[in-house]
Amino acid sequence: MAYDQDNIFAKILRGEIPVEKIYEDGFAIAFPDIDPQAPTHVLIIPTGPYESLDDFAKNGTVAEIAGFWRAVGAIGRQLGVDETGYRTLANTGPDAHQEVMHFHVHLFAGKKLGPMLVR
């Protein structure tokens, strides 16, 4: 499946949809989720056109992959949640209910987050 240049995160990267960027470097940007599910709920996306974690893991360069995950850790520290803790989640494909087809990592924090999945 080809990357859809009109997905909402591609538009955010091009500056066509405004967001409050809380982090930006050459590899990633981060901004608050529009529908937060925790006191802190941030989305971290790579600057390159990758539709999913699978696409990114398969086709991202080593520099992009390293830079992206360095950014995720830096954002946790920037938010001040590296010691209290946080959860990252990347929905991939239909069973995981991925809605936006640009790879993104959710970062949740700010309360006890409970068990991983509803059983």
Which amino acids are annotated catalytic?
A: 104
User: Binding residue for ligand AMP (CB under 6 A) from 3, 7, 8, 59?
Assistant: 8
Secondary structure string (H, E, C) spanning the chain: CCCCCCCHHHHHHCCCCCCCCCEECCCEEEEECCCCCCCEEEEEEECCCCCCHHHHHHHCCHHHHHHHHHHHHHHHHHCCCCCCCEEEECCCCHHHCCCCCCCCEEEEECCCCCCCCCC
Q: Is 7 in the site for ligand AMP (CB under 6 A)?
A: no
- Radius of gyration (C-alpha) of the chain in whole angstroms: 14
Q: Is 14 in the site for ligand AMP (CB under 6 A)?
A: no
Q: Given the rule CB under 6 A, which of 32-40, 60-68, 75-83, 111-119 is the region that contacts ligand AMP? A: 32-40
- Least separation, in Å, of the C-beta of 83 and ligand AMP? 25
Per-residue mark of binding to ligand AMP, 69-108 (x: CB under 6 A): ----------------------x-----xxxx--------
Q: Is 35 in the site for ligand AMP (CB under 6 A)?
A: yes
> Which tokens in the block code for residue 50?
């990758």
Nearer to ligand AMP, 27 or 108 (CB): 108
User: Binding residue for ligand AMP (CB under 6 A) from 42, 43, 44, 109?
Assistant: 43
